Chain A
Amino acid sequence: MTHALQLSQLSHAWGNSPPLFDIAQLTLLQGENLFIQGPSGCGKSTLLGMLAGVISVSHGQLEVLGQNMVKLSSVGRDRLRGEHMGVIFQQFNLLPYLDVQANVLLPTRLFPSRAKAAAQEWGDAQSQALHLIQTLGLPQSVWHQPVHQLSVGQQQRVAAVRALMGSPRLVIADEPTSALDDANQLEFLDLLLGTARRQAASVVMVSHNAHLAQRFDHMFAMPLRSRA
């Protein structure tokens, strides 16, 4: 069984301030999903940044998708993210000057390996995109719509479609539901997790909302910062 991520003694501090967090051990098997819970300011986003490879690891060990993130160059980490990860933010996921189609197909256009992965299963990237749109409960008519015509809920679903294009092995989601109302939150989450599971992708999601944790295989609470 391979690991989606494996970390030990991972800590991070900005400048000379005391460490933001210090995590002794955390592992996630490929295909399983993880909920990270913690209040705002506890370093959740920094941890996600490290997992995604945009923040370099200064102390401790971190392996993501079998790659040692401590040793990998920043370009190598960008490449790993581009080829094998999907990212969903709280909101503003989509480029406003592209329509839904162009937004969704962007990962497969920027990284040929993702287009190849999509084509292997679906014939071409567009077929996979249309399938995902249907799976996530979006009408086919959004395909050519400009992004600004979509509701926030629809935008988050389009973001999920994009994150899942070209069979990523890890989806990183930062509060992806907090812009949605309560009824939509769980529905969105179920669709995201269900689709990711079928693609054997791991989902790592952070949220302050502990209610969402029940849908996940694992939950990790960010350790509170120790004050000396």
Chain B
Amino acid sequence: MWLNLAWRSAWSRKQALAMVMVSVSVSVLILLGVQQLREDAKRSFSNALSGVDLIVGPRGSATELMLYSVFQIGRPSRNMGYEGYTALAQLPQVQWAVPIQLGDSYMGHPVLGSTPEIFTRFKSQGQGLQWAQGRAFADPLTQPEALSEVVLGAEVAKRFGHKLNDKLVLTHGQSSGLGTEHEDHPMTVVGILAATGAPIDRSVIVSLQAFEAIHVGWGMGISPSAFKAAGGAQQALDIKDLEPSSLSAVWVGLHNRAEVFSVRRKIEGLERGQLMAVMPGVALDELWQIVKVVENTLLLVGMLVAVSAMFSVAAVLLVAMAGRRKELAILRAMGAAPLALMGFVLLESLLVCVVGIVTGYVLCQALLIAGQEVLRTEFGVLVQAGWPAAQAWWALAGLCVVALVASLVPAWRAYRLSLSDGLHPPSV
């Protein structure tokens, strides 16, 4: 009976209560959204390069190596010897090794020199690369025309509107200026990658040999034509000579991931200890610690929003209590005890909060699922909708406690009013 009465009473004030509920659900949406994206962003960041067991580079800073070899942020201060690559590729535990050469750029986008194997080995969030158009560049060792073939990441193609067979000129280094364009070595687009959300979307990928070839004849940081004009000697081009002398980094995949520690020790023992091997997942986790402050701030803001919403619920219901005095006095005259009336009011505000929380959760999940594709391809965040994670459960439980506390405010007011009003409903 009380339930039915509470329901009818609430229904008569449905507009106000609906607004209250919406404000609760929006704040829960923010809190849970921040919480979930935080978790997903962290996991996605750790999995930004998921198929690779070890990243090998010159001895130095692991963070720097991660930044340039995974995110193409910054540039290597020095390279590792090419012999290191050939030596580690011969280790029995190594299944594959993909070299990475960095340094040039295309309209501000990093140029990545590698072998065609990169397209089959690269994985982000456990997903391999897919072709939007075209194909991988060929292996120049068998098909010399591959020296002018280039593959574009999704973002590069989109930004400059490039199609297959477009010709483009890469820039030497990261600056663009007179005499630093590789204009005597134009490249042809043979493939465009589908969006992954990973940094590779922003890259331009060429073969290792092409990377070398466009630098042939360069001297003292100026282009061959300028160099020639200055009296420099021009060399003949032979495909065998296009083996680089050094590399920026090498991505390594193992037969057995469990051997990662011993292989790491082995690699770091090669080349007189000039190499460093890093486990990307671990290193990325460490990098993530840098943004942890931002992440925590977001969560804190979300929590404050939710708590303030709960108390605005309390405020709204408290104000509404003035209009409910008549109702409470009538029920009291019919034998309702003050505690029963308190429960009556508590039930309503609690239900409003709980329904708001559940709606907020469902809304949050629905939005995440709806935005899943965009989040993955545009932001590289792989969302995992579903039941809330352990931390989200705590957040939800916390919200319920706050809701209870906030609901007690109007309920207590109802209790006091029903005592002080006695039999008399105040004349309104």
A residues whose Cβ falls under 8 Å from a Cβ of B:
45-46, 48-49, 52, 54-55, 74-75, 78-79, 81-83, 85, 87, 89-90, 92-98, 102, 106-107, 109-111, 172, 174
Contact indicator B423/A48 (Cβ below 8 Å): yes
Contact indicator A92/B425 (Cβ below 8 Å): yes
Contact indicator B336/A89 (Cβ below 8 Å): no
Q: Which residues of A have CB within 8 Å of B256? A: none
B424 at the interface (CB under 8 A from A): yes
Contact with A along B330-353 (1 / 0, CB 8 A): 111111111000000000000000
B11 at the interface (CB under 8 A from A): yes
Contact indicator B424/A89 (Cβ below 8 Å): yes
- Assembly CA distance A49 to B423 (angstroms): 6
Q: Which residues of B have CB within 8 Å of A111? A: 335
Q: Which residues of A have CB within 8 Å of B425? A: 89, 92
Contact indicator B335/A79 (Cβ below 8 Å): yes
Q: Which residues of B have CB within 8 Å of A174? A: 423-424
- Assembly CA distance A160 to B259 (angstroms): 88
Partner of A110, one of B1, B8, B424: B1
Contact indicator A83/B335 (Cβ below 8 Å): yes
Q: A75-B337, A87-B333, A95-B327 are in contact. Are A45 and B424 (CB under 8 A)?
A: yes
Whole-angstrom distance between the Cβ of B340 and the nearest chain A Cβ: 8
Size category of the binding interface on chain B:
20 to 34
Contact indicator A52/B333 (Cβ below 8 Å): yes
- Assembly CA distance A174 to B427 (angstroms): 13
Question: In the complex, which residue of chain A has the Cβ closest to the Cβ of B330?
Answer: A95
B230 at the interface (CB under 8 A from A): no
Contact indicator B336/A82 (Cβ below 8 Å): yes
Contact indicator B12/A107 (Cβ below 8 Å): no
Contact indicator B334/A82 (Cβ below 8 Å): yes
Contact indicator A97/B333 (Cβ below 8 Å): no
* The 6 nearest A-B residue pairs measured at CB: A82-B335, A97-B12, A87-B333, A49-B422, A78-B337, A54-B422
Whole-angstrom distance between the Cβ of B400 and the nearest chain A Cβ: 27
Partner of B12, one of A46, A48, A96: A96
Q: Which residues of B have CB within 8 Å of A78? A: 332, 335-337
- Assembly CA distance A49 to B1 (angstroms): 26
- Assembly CA distance A172 to B9 (angstroms): 26
- Assembly CA distance A54 to B421 (angstroms): 9
Contact indicator A87/B1 (Cβ below 8 Å): no
Contact indicator A54/B11 (Cβ below 8 Å): no
Q: Which residues of B have CB within 8 Å of A107? A: 334-335
Contact indicator B1/A45 (Cβ below 8 Å): no
Contact indicator B335/A92 (Cβ below 8 Å): no
Interface residues of B in 1-29 (CB under 8 A from A): 1, 5, 8-9, 11-12
B220 at the interface (CB under 8 A from A): no
Contact indicator A97/B335 (Cβ below 8 Å): no
Partner of B422, one of A55, A85, A96: A55
Whole-angstrom distance between the Cβ of B424 and the nearest chain A Cβ: 6
Q: Which residues of A have CB within 8 Å of B1? A: 109-110
Q: Which residues of A have CB within 8 Å of B422? A: 45-46, 49, 54-55
Contact indicator B332/A110 (Cβ below 8 Å): no
Q: Return 19 A-B CB contacts under 8 Å, by A number.
A: A45-B423, A49-B422, A54-B333, A54-B422, A74-B337, A78-B336, A79-B335, A81-B333, A81-B334, A81-B335, A82-B336, A83-B335, A92-B326, A92-B425, A94-B330, A95-B331, A96-B327, A97-B9, A107-B335
A sample of 16 more A-B contacts (CB under 8 A), given A87-B423, A172-B423, is A54-B333, A74-B337, A75-B337, A78-B332, A78-B336, A79-B335, A81-B334, A82-B334, A83-B335, A89-B329, A89-B425, A92-B330, A92-B427, A97-B9, A110-B335, A174-B424
B390 at the interface (CB under 8 A from A): no
Contact indicator A87/B334 (Cβ below 8 Å): yes
Whole-angstrom distance between the Cβ of B89 and the nearest chain A Cβ: 79
Whole-angstrom distance between the Cβ of B244 and the nearest chain A Cβ: 82
B428 at the interface (CB under 8 A from A): yes
Whole-angstrom distance between the Cβ of B143 and the nearest chain A Cβ: 82
Question: In the complex, which residue of chain A has the Cβ closest to the Cβ of B332?
Answer: A54
Contact indicator A110/B337 (Cβ below 8 Å): no
Whole-angstrom distance between the Cβ of B32 and the nearest chain A Cβ: 33
Interface residues of B in 410-428 (CB under 8 A from A): 422-425, 427-428
Q: Which residues of A have CB within 8 Å of B335? A: 78-79, 81-83, 85, 107, 110-111
Q: Which residues of A have CB within 8 Å of B327? A: 95-96
Whole-angstrom distance between the Cβ of B65 and the nearest chain A Cβ: 69
Whole-angstrom distance between the Cβ of B40 and the nearest chain A Cβ: 45
Whole-angstrom distance between the Cβ of B24 and the nearest chain A Cβ: 23
- Assembly CA distance A85 to B333 (angstroms): 9
Contact indicator A89/B333 (Cβ below 8 Å): yes
Contact with A along B307-337 (1 / 0, CB 8 A): 0000000000000000000110111111111
Whole-angstrom distance between the Cβ of B166 and the nearest chain A Cβ: 70
Q: Which residues of B have CB within 8 Å of A49? A: 422-424
- Assembly CA distance A146 to B228 (angstroms): 99
- Assembly CA distance A93 to B334 (angstroms): 10
- Assembly CA distance A98 to B336 (angstroms): 17
